[in-house]
Amino acid sequence: MKRVIRSGLVFLSLLGWAYADIEIRRGGSTWAIINSSGEIRIGGSTVGLVEADGSIRKGGSTVGQIRQDGEIRKGGNTYGHIRSDGELRVGGSSLGRIDSSGGIRKGGSNWGEARGVSGYEDQRKVTGVLVFFSGDF
């Protein structure tokens, strides 16, 4: 009986991952999920939200925004820019790239992968999670 319950729980948890829009992986494991509603989950817990206008919410408060033109605003100030080709620029220098295929590079090295990325809007969402939640960008 325990085996059946355990198998059922594993199956249900896999269903939750299958319906996620974007899965950000690092070191071969899932690091973050951005659901279709914009909810950001890290380590199984909801940590924030990417809103339709690009605003990033953390702990219920807006902490920044990834604007339609790619400008990254943090604390009310311009922080950087995500270009249409996926290049992430901060302080006038290239910091990394989010490829259209989902590859994430920082300083020329592979940082991770974003599965389910489909176009520039998704690259902007991934940028928001990396800049405001990873501590690396």
- Per-residue model confidence as pLDDT tens digits over 17-52: 444 489 999 999 999 999 999 999 999 999 999 999
Between CA 33 and CA 114 the distance in angstroms is: 9
Task: State the CB neighbour count (10 A cutoff) for residue 30.
Answer: 16
Range of weakest confidence among 2-11, 80-89, 115-124: 2-11
Between CA 49 and CA 39 the distance in angstroms is: 5
| Pairing mode of beta strands 87-90, 93-98 | antiparallel
62-86 average pLDDT score:
96
HSE-CB at 47 with a 13 A cutoff on CA atoms is: 16
**Any idea where the domains of the chain sit in the sequence?**
21-134
Q: Please tell me the predicted confidence (pLDDT) of residue 18.
A: 45
Confidence tier at 3 by pLDDT (50, 70, 90): low
Task: Tell whether the model's pLDDT for residue 8 goes beyond 50.
Answer: no
99-110 average pLDDT score:
94
Task: Tell whether the model's pLDDT for residue 79 goes beyond 80.
Answer: yes
In one letter, which amino acid is 80? G
Q: Which of 56, 114, 122, 53 is nearest to 84 (CA)?
A: 122
| Pairing mode of beta strands 61-66, 71-74 | antiparallel
Q: Please tell me the predicted confidence (pLDDT) of residue 1.
A: 52
Q: Which of 15, 21, 84 is nearest to 50 (CA)?
A: 21
57-78 average pLDDT score:
95
